[in-house]
Structure 1
């Protein structure tokens, strides 16, 4: 029979390092033009799994930021793909891609400064 030991404090990734990992995976998936799309999916899955652990911290805002960026970006990329049939999809797709990169950079820079990303309207 195996004996269960309580988890040791300080083991594993810190929440800050995990957030950097999520941004990094998202960036790898984006920069590889979908070749490593699994990295982006892994980033989103990690963000969903760890969002509860980060509740009440600045990192929860980062996880929400990445999740919203993914879903809104996916929506606009799909709509742009459909709009290629009327020849404006390439332009809207480029705009959506620039928006995703902008939010990725803005969120990651906010993490480096220890702040939550803030959406400007």
Structure 2
């Protein structure tokens, strides 16, 4: 039995957003582009699965940004480094779990 590995055009923006979020673990800027891609495409989508993943990406961005700002502020009392580290671990988890679920046509 052969599998079709082609990616449909409506699924491509989600793959791009997850890839940008994965790269953002090393440098922060791509996460902003991923959020914009998800935000723009979220309004055009009617498929519940795709919409749920766009929401997952946008929610991940905002929570990551909020915790990152809090962590940055707390670096002045040294606990912020731990907060920033745990935030990155959380981001890795969200990207891996979301992308895995999306690849298997499951809700995040």
TM range (shorter): 0.7 to 0.9
Counterpart CA distance in 1 for 2:18 and 2:10 is: 12
Counterpart CA distance in 2 for 1:88 and 1:42 is: 29
Give the paired residue count: 101
Residue 19, structure 1, aligned to residue 14, structure 2: yes
Unaligned runs of 5+ in 2: 1-7
Q: CA RMSD in A?
A: 1.4
Match of 1:90 among 78, 81, 88: 81
Structure-to-structure mapping, 1:72-83, within 5 angstroms:
72-83=63-74
Shift of 1:57: 2.4
Residue 28 of structure 1: aligned partner: 23
Structure-to-structure mapping, 1:1-121, within 5 angstroms:
14-31=9-26, 33-34=27-28, 37=29, 39-117=30-108
Counterpart CA distance in 1 for 2:11 and 2:47 is: 14
* Counterpart secondary structure, 1:77: helix
Shift of 1:69: 0.5
Unaligned runs of 5+ in 1: 1-12
- Of structures 1 and 2, the one scoring higher in RCO (CA 8 A, sep 6+) is 2
Q: TM-score, normalised by structure 1?
A: 0.77
Q: TM-score, normalised by structure 2?
A: 0.86
Per-residue displacement from partner, 1:31-68 (whole Å, max 9, x unpaired)? Answer: 3x23xx1x322211111111022234201110100100
Shift of 1:28: 1.7
Residue 4 of structure 2: aligned partner: none
